[in-house]
Chain A
Amino acid sequence: MVKVVLKEVSKYFGKVRAVDNLNLEIKDGEFVALLGPSGCGKTTTLLMIAGIYKPTKGRIYFDNEDITDLPPKDRNIGMVFQSYALYPHMTVYNNIAFPLKLKKTPKHVIHEKVVKVARLLRIDNLLDRKPSQLSGGQQQRVALARALVKEPDVLLLDEPLSNLDAKLRIYMRAELKRLQKELKVTTIYVTHDQVEAMSMADRIAVMNQGKLQQYAEPNILYDKPANIFVAGFIGNPPMNFIEGSIMEVNGEYYFDSGVFKLKIHRSLGEMISSKTEEAILGFRPEHIKLVTTKAPNAIKGIVYVVEPLGRDMVVNIKVNDTIIKALASPEIQLTPGQQIYIILDERKIHFFNKSTGEAIV
């Protein structure tokens, strides 16, 4: 088990900056998710840690040892690919045994280890089959077994759950997390699914366009997003954003969107206006209170569509031209076209600098 450190790592493909000046430290035994939309450079980062891509700039360390120039085989890593990448011409047993054979492990030790890891992943009844005879979930377990059998220092997972059906994915999420805690292997997990990252990882590195946006614990990403990208990427349904400006009238501060004015606390107003005039207001759907009668400092809107989800419902509210999504309990009776008032909890709203996208509060 090792600590992984990336120092000012960049990878360019021609003129495209796939990864741009990435600094990341993954603690010994930690489960870190690299989260971002497709093409954000997360898989490239993983492949650099694996040693398949060489960074254009920067160094990678395992436990203070510079491994940037080591080939993959000398890094003692295990990796699971999105496609599983099993060897189609080998049986499950040989697939799992392959890394050990390359290490010239004695045969009886190989057998012991393969059977042990196969039992751990509950695939010990499939050892004689070929990969093409397995279901997606079974293939995924074989790939995981192959990665784990050599007792790697670092486990790299590239969207391992994305090819599974929804039910199995939720099951494997918990299974993987349990396994990682049990084996205490440093794990780097690439995903574009924020739910996966939030539910499994100790820390999440959010990336966009090759740049690290924020690296923090899941609850911090959720409560204190560093910028508008992170705020919009984490959470489902996503955060609502409204552009506007901060104005002061008679010592009182308002957020003015052009359609409505929202009174905000003096200290908050002073803080924002000291940094920028143009701001973006952000608030999560679950932090909205909906009332049907007029209330002070409430935003007036019209119910546009209601999406019931069973446990709760997403109410789409039209405020002038913008749609605001709110989560509400399904007990409220709402009909499209109905007038409604939105009340925001001032402790849970966010303001972002419009020009830089950075979070102010």
Chain B
Amino acid sequence: MLSLPRYRIESRKTKALLRSIIKYLIVIVVAVIPLIPVWIMYLWLIMQSFSPKVNLGIIPLGFTLNNWRFLWSPLKMGLKTYPNIWPITINTLLIALGVSGIVVLISTLGGYALSRMEFAGRTGMMKFIIALHAFPSVILLIALFIILNKLGLYGKGYVTLLGITLVKAGLEIPMASWIIKGFFDAIPWDVEWAALVDGCTRWRLWRSIVLPLVLPGIGAISIFSFLSGWSEFLLVFTYVKDEAYYTLPVLIYHMIGEYKMVDWGLLAALGLFFTIPTIIFFSTSQKLLLRIYVGGVKG
């Protein structure tokens, strides 16, 4: 190879350089360009919410906090006054925390059983979980209504929200169990056996050895289920009739839905307010979430 003439090596170098430039260009076209509209949307949201008027959607003309007035005064839309934002935020938070609490508790137990224990119908159950996920909750609305009604979990303020939390958690648990099962699978049997030999009971083993090793997984499913509870719209929209028990997504819907005159500035501010938990979670737990695809134990 060393005996190649100098000019040929030069031309190969140029070719290699060209090739890598083309590679980068392809990456830019495929990955960066599709992101531009998304960034523009976010920019629009921010500009719109802090400025009385904008040009071309994203160039602000002046600064105002008027659009954020809902934080300290009742929310008025046309002739109608909606409840204060804070109780509604708390409603949303209750559902989100409730969902993630229930999901974490049940999925970590269920996922462990799916991963580690032999029982009749285990494989069938796992297939069924995936199948379950194919059905949207819309088709369950009527059946769920009847069930909630019979259980006395409908039309009674916070009790209704509890009912919704249970339903939402129920819908989230299968997938969360499936995700956390992957984390349990990644723990070698040896580690569990070692703990049993060291003197653990099965419960102690689960608590002291297994759970700490799937913490990234628990983090992931709690964030996912929290956000899914936070942004739940359909169930609240269908089952909650009393405005005092609205949640943020439903409130935002009403901001658009009821009048022809839409206050875009207010809507943008509400939208940003709604995304705050999402932004907090993703910026603090990015590494955790990425590990879902990398998997559990690191030796």
Contacts and interface: CB of A to CB of B under 8 A. Distances in A.
Interface of A: 47, 50-52, 71-73, 77-79, 81-89, 98-99, 102-103, 131-132, 143, 146, 150, 156
B198 A99 contact: yes
Contacts of B194: 79, 81, 85-87, 143, 146
5 contacts: A88-B191, A98-B195, A131-B299, A146-B194, A146-B198
Contact of B193 (A50, A88, A98): A50
Contacts, number: 70
Given A81-B194, A82-B190, A88 B297 contact: yes
Given A83-B188, A88-B213, A77 B299 contact: no
Given A85-B188, A85-B193, A88-B213, A132 B299 contact: yes
B193 A73 contact: no
Given A73-B201, A131-B299, A85 B196 contact: no
Contacts of B199: 72-73, 99, 102-103, 150
Interface in B177-195: 188, 190-191, 193-195
Interface string B14-53: 0000000000000000000000000000000000000000
A99 to B, nearest CB: 4
Contacts of A103: 199
Interface string B183-222: 0000010110111111111001000110011000000000
B8 interface: no
A102 B200 contact: yes
Contacts of A77: 197
A150 B212 CA distance: 24
Contact of B190 (A78, A85, A99, A131): A85
Given A47-B193, A81-B194, A82-B190, 7 more contacts: A51-B196, A52-B193, A73-B201, A81-B190, A99-B199, A103-B199, A150-B199
Nearest to B201: A73
Interface in B263-289: none
Nearest to A78: B197
B298 interface: yes
B298 A102 contact: no
A320 B298 CA distance: 55
A273 B283 CA distance: 84
A71 B197 CA distance: 9
Contacts of A150: 198-199
Nearest to B190: A85
B204 A102 contact: yes
A242 B200 CA distance: 53
A70 to B, nearest CB: 12
Contacts of B198: 73, 98-99, 102, 146, 150
A143 B204 CA distance: 20
B116 to A, nearest CB: 13
A102 B190 CA distance: 18
B196 A71 contact: yes
Nearest to B212: A89
A339 to B, nearest CB: 47
Choose among A50, A71, A102 the residue with the greatest number of B CB atoms under 10 Å from its CB: A102
A131 B201 CA distance: 23
Contacts of B190: 81-85
Contacts of A156: 197
A343 B129 CA distance: 71
A150 B195 CA distance: 13
Contact of B197 (A72, A82, A83): A72
A132 B188 CA distance: 15
Nearest to A103: B199
Choose among A47, A84, A86, A87 the residue with the greatest number of B CB atoms under 10 Å from its CB: A87
B180 to A, nearest CB: 17
Nearest to A73: B199
A81 B194 CA distance: 8
Interface in B236-256: none
B123 to A, nearest CB: 15
Contacts of A72: 193, 196-197, 199
B200 A52 contact: no
Contact of B298 (A78, A88, A143): A88
Contacts of A52: 193, 196-197
B295 to A, nearest CB: 13
Contacts of B213: 88-89
Contacts of A85: 188, 190-191, 193-194
A51 B199 CA distance: 11
A87 B11 CA distance: 55
Contact of B209 (A81, A83, A87, A143): A87
A213 B277 CA distance: 66
Nearest to B193: A52
B186 to A, nearest CB: 11
Contacts of A50: 193, 196-197
A275 B190 CA distance: 48
Contacts of B197: 50-52, 72-73, 77-79, 156
A150 B200 CA distance: 13
The 4 closest A-B pairs by CB, nearest first: A85-B190, A102-B199, A85-B194, A99-B198
B93 to A, nearest CB: 31
A129 B137 CA distance: 49
A279 B299 CA distance: 52
Nearest to B209: A87
Contacts of A143: 194
Contact of A73 (B191, B200, B297): B200
